[in-house]
Copies of this chain bind each other. A is one copy, B any other.
């Protein structure tokens, strides 16, 4: 099983007057992580999907639990794996740690979709699906 990781440093500007990270920043970080995964690991950069094919992977739901606060100068490691591949949907597990302390745990569901006008789910292209499979957390998750 493969995972995809990225290290990010918490900057001054990510934190609020309490010295704690302003949590919407986390979603910018995880959005960047997913984008880099598509470009660097899956060979499907967002801009190619959008421009050439009018497709994208909008998020349809997410849930997140924050375990401990992040502060300025913390170096976070974000890691992504695939929990489940549906016909069109991609369920991701994303975690952030700082050293060995967990900071958050997130499940995020994307859907492969045509974007012109109304968002319409489309079957995941076979090649993209094949490149995602090594990132599945369990074999059983594939049969769906």
Binding site for B on A (CB under 8 A): 11-13, 15-20, 22-24, 27-28, 31-32, 35, 39, 45-47, 50, 56, 58-66, 68-69, 71-73, 115, 118-119
Contact = CB atoms under 8 A, between A and B. Distances in A.
Given A27-B23, A35-B12, A18 B64 contact: no
B23 A12 contact: no
Contacts of A118: 69
25 contacts: A12-B17, A12-B35, A12-B46, A13-B24, A13-B31, A13-B32, A15-B16, A15-B17, A17-B47, A18-B50, A18-B115, A19-B47, A19-B115, A23-B27, A23-B31, A23-B59, A24-B24, A59-B66, A61-B63, A61-B64, A61-B66, A62-B63, A68-B119, A69-B118, A69-B119
Secondary structure class of chain A's binding surface, majority of residues: mixed
Please name the 7 residue pairs, one residue from A and one from B, whose CB atoms are nearest each other, closest first.
Answer: A63-B63, A24-B27, A47-B72, A61-B65, A12-B46, A18-B115, A24-B28
